[in-house]
């Protein structure tokens, strides 16, 4: 059984939960600071609850995706209105900061983070302390580390650990710092300094919550052409044009040539707070999937995507996904990734596989089916999507397959693979900016919401002396 106890920053404001056995009760601040009640029971990693507000009552459920995050929904009894309800524990989530977008993942004993710079990916790792904002340091204490300062601080915020003391690692420098959450859990302020430096600089951030009714289709594609004489064609280009008509869908198409490219684009997906359908399009051989520079190892995907709970499905527009001495490339990914995988187990005709790709993604992105139900629909609508076809069918069987995640469910917080330590992230990112988008929190049930905030691309980088 998983523990929902603690302070959460949710779609509808700050929430404090207490848990005794399977029983959970608490308070959230949804209506201009008026306390609203929530109470329910936990089974496995799901909390089913009743909520009570001054003018509304209803039911809902939260599913713990990992230690620091839950996703869920609510439904009002009287009107039948319903919506999503997400929550993040402590520092967990996506933040728009002084130095661009930052993804923090909170575990019981530590917090790790990933952020982007023009010359590569950067990481941080630290631990939580109970602390209030410290007083202005005296000259004698300016040389102390964040850990020293945190140890001397005696204040707390209702017993909730609100200070993160960390070390950061960048491609060309490293250093230390601290973040402290404000009372709303929506913002943090903090300081950082490079190794060997005496002065501290500011580093602040504000949460980026998922935008209501927004989802993404991200296509990462290797160039199919091997020689100059081949004509230009692209699956991602066709998908971009086809799905441009779907409201509430952001489509991004990027190319990769190597494992380092693929790792970099997968890392970018961590900064998207909304649901993502991810497509990887490349050549497949009996030896495995390949880019222009050799066979692709599963680690190129699992290194960053293993804690991408925002990904709904990873679909491979590639042949021979079921091959491999260890039971298949896809099965290797399923052991480590918290979402389902789909693709083609053997050779697939280009035109036949494109028809399957479009139908499958359309079922998910426009018709709202789950990936599992979309896979079933594809095989009903397109007979050549299965393992066999009739003699009258012009297309050979594509052997389209669907592999559920972790035996059919997302891993719980206790089974989510450990996150790489800060000094293990040595991936370099091409010097390209990230696409801008406007992100707002989901509106409250009263129709009010947070003001839209522009998400900037790359900011100035932190540097060492």
Q: CATH code at 202?
A: 2.40.128
Cα distance between residue 307 and residue 177, in whole Å: 24
CATH of the domain at 383: 3.40.50.1460
Residue 432: CB atoms within 10 Å? 14
Q: At residue 120, what are phi and psi to the nearest 5 degrees?
A: 145, 175
Do both 165 and 110 map to the same domain? yes
Residue 127: Cβ-neighbour burial (10 angstroms; 0-12, 13-18, 19+): middle
Find the domain containing 324 and state its range.
215-407
Mean pLDDT of 44-68: 94
Mean of pLDDT values over 384-390: 91
Per-residue pLDDT of 406-447, as tens digits, reads: 643 343 333 333 334 444 333 333 333 333 222 333 223 333
Q: Does residue 202 form part of some domain?
A: yes
215-269 pLDDT, tens digit each: 999 999 999 887 888 888 899 999 999 999 999 999 999 999 888 899 999 999 9
DSSP 333: H
Amino acid 184: pLDDT = 85
Q: Tell me, yes or no, whether 106 lies in a domain.
A: yes
Task: Tell me, yes or no, whether 240 and 359 share the same domain.
Answer: yes
Query: Which phi and psi angles does 328 have, rounded to 5°?
Result: 120, 145
Per-residue pLDDT of 173-210, as tens digits, reads 999 999 999 988 899 999 999 999 999 999 999 999 89
Please tell me whether residues 239 and 343 are part of one structural domain: yes
Same domain for 219 and 201, yes or no, is no
Residue 318 belongs to a domain: yes
Do 48 and 127 lie in one domain? The reply is: no
463 part of a folded domain:
no
Residue 456 in this model has a pLDDT that exceeds 50 = no
Give the whole-angstrom CA distance, residue 103 versus residue 289.
29
Whether 451 is in a domain gets the answer no
Q: Can you tell me the mean pLDDT for 96-103?
A: 94
* 454 falls within a domain: no
Q: pLDDT exceeding 70 applies to what percent of the chain?
A: 78
* Terminal CA-CA length for the chain: 48
Question: What's the rounded Cα separation, in Å, for the pair 419 and 112?
Answer: 7
pLDDT at position 153 is 36
Same domain? 71 vs 134? no
Shared domain for 299 and 378, answered yes or no, is: yes
At residue 413, the pLDDT reads 38
Question: Averaged over 286-315, what is the pLDDT?
Answer: 85
pLDDT tens digits, residue range 18-50? 999 999 999 998 767 789 999 999 998 899 999
Beta-sheet pairing, 215-221 with 249-255: parallel
CA quadruple 88, 94, 95, 96: dihedral positive or negative?
A: negative
Is the pLDDT at 281 greater than 90? The verdict is yes
Considering the domain boundaries, does residue 127 fall inside one? Answer: yes
| Paired strand residues for 278 | 218, 314
72, β-bridge pairs: 62
Residues 166 and 227 grouped into a single domain: no
Instruction: Choose among 252, 345, 265: nearest CA to 300.
Output: 265
- Statement: residue 293 has pLDDT above 90: no
Residues 241 and 292 in one domain: yes
Question: pLDDT, tens digit, for every residue of 132-167?
Answer: 544 344 344 444 444 444 334 333 334 467 899 999
Same domain for 237 and 164, yes or no, is no
User: What is the H or E stretch that residue 26 is in?
Assistant: strand 23-31
The rounded mean pLDDT for the chain is: 81
Local confidence band at 323 (pLDDT 50, 70, 90 cut-offs): low
DSSP per residue over 34-67, as a string? Answer: EEEEEEEEEETTEEEEEEEETTEEEEEEEEEEET
443: in domain: no
What distance in Å separates the CA atoms of residue 277 and residue 219, rounded to the nearest whole number?
9
372 and 232 share a domain? yes
* End residue of a domain, out of 89, 117, 150: 89
CA 285 to chain CA centroid, nearest Å: 30
Give the count of domains, the chain: 3
- Are residues 238 and 274 located together in one domain of the fold? yes
Residue 8 CA to residue 30 CA, distance in Å, equals: 13
């Amino acid at each position: 059984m998983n523990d929902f106890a603690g302070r959460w920053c949710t779609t509808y404001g700050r929430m404090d939960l207490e848990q005794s056995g399977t029983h959970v009760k608490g308070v959230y601040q949804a209506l201009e600071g008026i306390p609203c009640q929530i109470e329910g029971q936990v089974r496995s990693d799901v909390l089913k609850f009743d909520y009570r507000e001054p003018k509304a009552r209803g039911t809902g459920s939260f599913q713990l995706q990992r230690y620091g995050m839950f996703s869920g929904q609510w439904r009002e009894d009287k009107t039948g209105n319903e919506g999503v309800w997400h929550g993040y524990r402590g520092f967990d989530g996506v933040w728009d900061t002084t130095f661009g977008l930052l993804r923090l993942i909170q575990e019981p004993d530590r917090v790790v983070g990933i952020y982007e710079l023009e010359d590569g990916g950067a990481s941080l790792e630290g631990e939580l302390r109970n602390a209030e904002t410290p007083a202005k340091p005296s000259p004698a204490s300016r040389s102390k580390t964040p850990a020293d300062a945190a140890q001397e601080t005696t204040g707390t915020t209702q017993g909730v650990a609100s200070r993160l003391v960390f070390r950061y690692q960048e491609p060309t420098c490293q250093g230390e710092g601290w973040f402290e959450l404000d009372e709303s859990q929506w913002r943090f302020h903090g300081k950082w300094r490079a190794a060997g430096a005496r002065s501290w600089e500011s580093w602040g951030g504000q949460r980026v919550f998922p935008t209501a009714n927004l989802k993404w289709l991200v296509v990462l594609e290797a160039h199919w052409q091997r020689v100059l004489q081949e004509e230009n064609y692209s699956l991602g280009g066709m998908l971009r044009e086809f799905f441009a008509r779907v409201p509430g869908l952001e489509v991004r198409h990027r190319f990769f040539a190597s494992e380092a490219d693929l790792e970099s684009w997968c890392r970018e997906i961590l900064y998207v707070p909304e649901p993502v359908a991810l497509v990887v399009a490349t050549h497949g051989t009996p030896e495995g999937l390949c880019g222009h520079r050799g066979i692709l190892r599963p680690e190129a995907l699992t290194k960053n995507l293993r804690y991408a709970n925002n990904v709904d499905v990873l679909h491979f527009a590639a042949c021979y996904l079921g091959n491999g001495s260890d039971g298949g490339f896809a099965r290797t990914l399923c052991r480590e990734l918290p979402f389902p995988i789909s693709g083609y187990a053997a050779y697939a005709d280009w035109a036949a596989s494109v028809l399957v790709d479009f139908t499958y993604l359309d079922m998910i992105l426009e018709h709202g089916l789950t990936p599992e139900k979309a896979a079933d629909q594809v095989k009903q609508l397109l007979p050549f999507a299965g393992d066999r076809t009739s003699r009258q069918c012009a297309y050979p069987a594509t052997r389209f397959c669907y592999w559920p995640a972790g035996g059919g469910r997302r891993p719980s917080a206790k089974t989510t693979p450990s996150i790489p330590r800060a000094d293990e992230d040595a991936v370099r990112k091409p010097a390209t900016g990230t696409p801008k988008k406007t992100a707002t929190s989901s509106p409250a049930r009263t129709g009010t919401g947070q003001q839209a905030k522009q998400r900037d691309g790359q900011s100035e980088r932190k540097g060492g002396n």
